Amino acid sequence: MAVAMSLEFVAKRRWDRRHKLLRSLGLRYPNDGELRKLAELANVDADNRSIFGEQIRSLILDAHLSDSSLRGLSKPKIRNFLTNVASQAQQLSDSLTAIDVGARGSAEHAGFLLEMELWKTQSILLPEYVAILGGLSDAAKRGTSSIKSKRGQRNLAFNQFIEGLLMAAWQRRGQWTLYRAGEKTWKGTMLEALKILQQYLPLQFFPGGVLGRSADYARLKLKQHITKNQGSRR
Protein backbone atom coordinates (compact mmCIF):
# COMPACT_ATOMS: atom_id res chain seq x y z
CA MET A 1 0.00 0.00 0.00
CA ALA A 2 2.82 2.43 0.92
CA VAL A 3 4.60 1.76 -2.38
CA ALA A 4 1.38 2.37 -4.34
CA MET A 5 0.76 5.63 -2.48
CA SER A 6 4.34 6.79 -3.09
CA LEU A 7 4.06 5.96 -6.78
CA GLU A 8 0.78 7.88 -7.03
CA PHE A 9 2.25 10.90 -5.22
CA VAL A 10 5.39 11.05 -7.37
CA ALA A 11 3.43 10.54 -10.59
CA LYS A 12 1.00 13.33 -9.69
CA ARG A 13 3.75 15.79 -8.79
CA ARG A 14 5.64 15.08 -12.03
CA TRP A 15 2.40 15.34 -14.01
CA ASP A 16 1.68 18.73 -12.43
CA ARG A 17 5.17 20.01 -13.34
CA ARG A 18 4.81 18.78 -16.93
CA HIS A 19 1.37 20.41 -17.12
CA LYS A 20 2.93 23.79 -16.25
CA LEU A 21 5.51 23.38 -19.02
CA LEU A 22 2.82 22.76 -21.62
CA ARG A 23 0.91 25.91 -20.71
CA SER A 24 3.59 27.95 -22.46
CA LEU A 25 3.21 26.02 -25.73
CA GLY A 26 -0.06 27.68 -26.69
CA LEU A 27 -1.93 24.47 -27.43
CA ARG A 28 -4.83 24.79 -29.84
CA TYR A 29 -8.24 23.20 -29.40
CA PRO A 30 -11.18 22.56 -31.76
CA ASN A 31 -13.54 25.48 -32.26
CA ASP A 32 -17.22 25.34 -31.38
CA GLY A 33 -18.21 24.13 -34.83
CA GLU A 34 -15.67 21.32 -34.75
CA LEU A 35 -16.70 20.30 -31.26
CA ARG A 36 -20.32 20.20 -32.39
CA LYS A 37 -19.33 18.02 -35.33
CA LEU A 38 -17.37 15.68 -33.05
CA ALA A 39 -20.39 15.34 -30.75
CA GLU A 40 -22.56 14.51 -33.75
CA LEU A 41 -20.08 11.89 -34.94
CA ALA A 42 -20.07 10.34 -31.46
CA ASN A 43 -23.88 10.40 -31.43
CA VAL A 44 -23.92 12.55 -28.29
CA ASP A 45 -27.22 14.35 -27.73
CA ALA A 46 -27.47 18.13 -27.51
CA ASP A 47 -27.81 18.19 -23.70
CA ASN A 48 -24.42 16.51 -23.26
CA ARG A 49 -22.43 18.28 -25.98
CA SER A 50 -21.00 21.02 -23.78
CA ILE A 51 -19.55 18.55 -21.29
CA PHE A 52 -18.40 16.32 -24.13
CA GLY A 53 -16.52 19.26 -25.65
CA GLU A 54 -14.69 19.85 -22.39
CA GLN A 55 -13.73 16.20 -22.32
CA ILE A 56 -12.31 16.49 -25.84
CA ARG A 57 -10.19 19.48 -24.81
CA SER A 58 -8.95 17.58 -21.78
CA LEU A 59 -8.05 14.57 -23.93
CA ILE A 60 -6.02 16.77 -26.28
CA LEU A 61 -4.07 18.20 -23.34
CA ASP A 62 -3.51 14.69 -21.95
CA ALA A 63 -2.30 13.55 -25.37
CA HIS A 64 0.40 16.22 -25.39
CA LEU A 65 1.39 15.36 -21.82
CA SER A 66 1.56 11.63 -22.55
CA ASP A 67 3.39 12.13 -25.84
CA SER A 68 6.08 14.27 -24.23
CA SER A 69 6.49 11.67 -21.49
CA LEU A 70 6.49 8.50 -23.59
CA ARG A 71 8.08 9.49 -26.91
CA GLY A 72 11.59 8.20 -27.50
CA LEU A 73 11.75 5.84 -24.53
CA SER A 74 14.92 3.74 -24.60
CA LYS A 75 16.06 1.31 -21.91
CA PRO A 76 19.80 1.93 -22.58
CA LYS A 77 19.29 5.72 -22.51
CA ILE A 78 17.33 5.52 -19.25
CA ARG A 79 20.14 3.45 -17.74
CA ASN A 80 22.76 5.96 -18.96
CA PHE A 81 20.90 8.93 -17.45
CA LEU A 82 20.58 7.22 -14.08
CA THR A 83 24.18 6.00 -14.14
CA ASN A 84 25.40 9.55 -14.84
CA VAL A 85 23.29 10.94 -11.99
CA ALA A 86 24.66 8.32 -9.59
CA SER A 87 28.25 9.04 -10.67
CA GLN A 88 27.98 12.83 -10.52
CA ALA A 89 26.17 12.77 -7.18
CA GLN A 90 28.94 10.60 -5.74
CA GLN A 91 31.64 12.86 -7.18
CA LEU A 92 30.05 15.97 -5.64
CA SER A 93 29.64 14.15 -2.33
CA ASP A 94 33.34 13.27 -2.40
CA SER A 95 34.24 16.89 -3.22
CA LEU A 96 32.22 18.22 -0.28
CA THR A 97 33.73 15.63 2.07
CA ALA A 98 37.20 16.73 0.92
CA ILE A 99 36.60 20.30 2.16
CA ASP A 100 34.75 19.45 5.38
CA VAL A 101 36.13 19.78 8.88
CA GLY A 102 39.44 17.96 9.19
CA ALA A 103 40.61 18.73 5.66
CA ARG A 104 42.95 21.47 6.97
CA GLY A 105 44.41 24.49 5.24
CA SER A 106 42.81 25.98 2.16
CA ALA A 107 40.44 23.04 1.67
CA GLU A 108 38.92 23.38 5.15
CA HIS A 109 38.66 27.16 4.82
CA ALA A 110 36.87 26.72 1.49
CA GLY A 111 34.44 24.39 3.24
CA PHE A 112 33.90 26.95 5.99
CA LEU A 113 33.10 29.72 3.49
CA LEU A 114 30.74 27.41 1.58
CA GLU A 115 28.93 26.41 4.75
CA MET A 116 28.48 30.07 5.73
CA GLU A 117 26.81 30.83 2.40
CA LEU A 118 24.70 27.67 2.50
CA TRP A 119 23.47 28.44 6.00
CA LYS A 120 22.27 31.89 4.91
CA THR A 121 19.85 30.46 2.34
CA GLN A 122 19.32 26.77 3.07
CA SER A 123 20.09 26.28 6.79
CA ILE A 124 21.86 23.04 5.85
CA LEU A 125 25.53 22.26 6.45
CA LEU A 126 27.99 20.09 4.52
CA PRO A 127 27.32 16.77 6.30
CA GLU A 128 23.61 17.03 5.47
CA TYR A 129 24.39 17.73 1.81
CA VAL A 130 26.78 14.78 1.73
CA ALA A 131 24.04 12.56 3.14
CA ILE A 132 21.50 13.85 0.60
CA LEU A 133 23.89 13.28 -2.29
CA GLY A 134 24.66 9.80 -1.03
CA GLY A 135 20.95 9.04 -0.96
CA LEU A 136 20.57 10.47 -4.47
CA SER A 137 23.39 8.29 -5.79
CA ASP A 138 21.95 5.18 -4.14
CA ALA A 139 18.45 5.95 -5.47
CA ALA A 140 19.80 6.34 -9.01
CA LYS A 141 21.62 3.01 -8.72
CA ARG A 142 18.44 1.31 -7.51
CA GLY A 143 16.59 2.94 -10.38
CA THR A 144 18.87 1.30 -12.94
CA SER A 145 18.11 -2.12 -11.48
CA SER A 146 14.35 -1.52 -11.61
CA ILE A 147 14.20 -0.53 -15.30
CA LYS A 148 11.54 -2.50 -17.09
CA SER A 149 11.30 -3.15 -20.80
CA LYS A 150 9.42 -0.40 -22.67
CA ARG A 151 8.51 -2.71 -25.52
CA GLY A 152 4.98 -2.08 -26.74
CA GLN A 153 4.84 1.48 -25.40
CA ARG A 154 5.67 3.15 -28.72
CA ASN A 155 1.99 3.80 -29.38
CA LEU A 156 0.88 3.97 -25.75
CA ALA A 157 -0.03 7.67 -25.85
CA PHE A 158 -2.16 7.09 -28.97
CA ASN A 159 -3.84 4.07 -27.38
CA GLN A 160 -4.65 6.10 -24.28
CA PHE A 161 -6.16 8.82 -26.46
CA ILE A 162 -8.40 6.36 -28.28
CA GLU A 163 -9.49 4.85 -24.98
CA GLY A 164 -10.30 8.35 -23.75
CA LEU A 165 -12.43 9.07 -26.80
CA LEU A 166 -14.31 5.80 -26.33
CA MET A 167 -14.94 6.45 -22.65
CA ALA A 168 -15.97 10.07 -23.24
CA ALA A 169 -18.61 9.00 -25.75
CA TRP A 170 -19.82 6.19 -23.49
CA GLN A 171 -20.11 8.53 -20.48
CA ARG A 172 -22.25 10.92 -22.53
CA ARG A 173 -24.42 8.03 -23.84
CA GLY A 174 -22.86 8.19 -27.29
CA GLN A 175 -20.86 5.78 -29.39
CA TRP A 176 -18.25 5.84 -32.14
CA THR A 177 -18.33 3.50 -35.10
CA LEU A 178 -15.27 1.76 -36.51
CA TYR A 179 -15.34 -1.16 -38.90
CA ARG A 180 -13.32 -2.89 -41.59
CA ALA A 181 -14.52 -2.09 -45.13
CA GLY A 182 -11.83 -4.04 -46.99
CA GLU A 183 -8.51 -5.76 -46.53
CA LYS A 184 -6.74 -2.48 -45.72
CA THR A 185 -9.71 -0.16 -45.55
CA TRP A 186 -11.44 1.02 -42.39
CA LYS A 187 -14.39 3.36 -42.01
CA GLY A 188 -16.44 4.86 -39.21
CA THR A 189 -17.13 8.02 -37.25
CA MET A 190 -14.02 7.41 -35.13
CA LEU A 191 -11.79 7.92 -38.18
CA GLU A 192 -13.73 11.03 -39.21
CA ALA A 193 -13.17 12.42 -35.72
CA LEU A 194 -9.45 11.65 -35.83
CA LYS A 195 -9.14 13.61 -39.07
CA ILE A 196 -10.60 16.65 -37.32
CA LEU A 197 -8.48 16.19 -34.21
CA GLN A 198 -5.14 15.47 -35.89
CA GLN A 199 -4.18 19.13 -36.25
CA TYR A 200 -4.57 19.62 -32.49
CA LEU A 201 -2.48 16.62 -31.48
CA PRO A 202 1.33 16.27 -31.27
CA LEU A 203 3.25 15.85 -34.50
CA GLN A 204 3.55 12.22 -35.62
CA PHE A 205 1.08 11.24 -32.90
CA PHE A 206 -0.73 8.74 -35.12
CA PRO A 207 1.04 5.37 -35.57
CA GLY A 208 2.36 4.41 -38.98
CA GLY A 209 0.39 2.00 -41.11
CA VAL A 210 -3.38 1.69 -41.24
CA LEU A 211 -4.96 4.12 -38.76
CA GLY A 212 -8.18 2.15 -38.48
CA ARG A 213 -6.31 -0.99 -37.45
CA SER A 214 -4.37 0.92 -34.79
CA ALA A 215 -7.56 2.47 -33.40
CA ASP A 216 -9.29 -0.91 -33.40
CA TYR A 217 -6.36 -2.43 -31.50
CA ALA A 218 -6.72 0.24 -28.79
CA ARG A 219 -10.46 -0.40 -28.67
CA LEU A 220 -9.89 -4.13 -28.26
CA LYS A 221 -7.37 -3.59 -25.46
CA LEU A 222 -9.85 -1.39 -23.60
CA LYS A 223 -12.60 -3.98 -24.02
CA GLN A 224 -10.30 -6.71 -22.68
CA HIS A 225 -9.35 -4.54 -19.73
CA ILE A 226 -13.00 -3.88 -18.85
CA THR A 227 -13.90 -7.55 -19.23
CA LYS A 228 -11.00 -8.57 -17.01
CA ASN A 229 -12.00 -6.11 -14.28
CA GLN A 230 -15.62 -7.22 -14.40
CA GLY A 231 -14.51 -10.83 -14.06
CA SER A 232 -12.30 -10.07 -11.05
CA ARG A 233 -15.22 -8.46 -9.19
CA ARG A 234 -17.39 -11.56 -9.38
Q: Strand 179-180 vs strand 186-187: parallel, antiparallel, or unpaired?
A: antiparallel
SS3 state at 179:
strand
pLDDT tens string 59-78: 998 899 888 877 777 788 88
Query: Structure pTM?
Result: 0.67
Question: Average of pLDDT values for 52-56?
Answer: 93
**What was the pLDDT predicted at 151?**
47
**What was the pLDDT predicted at 1?**
52
Q: How far is CA 167 from CA 154, 172, 181, 218, in A?
A: 22, 9, 24, 12
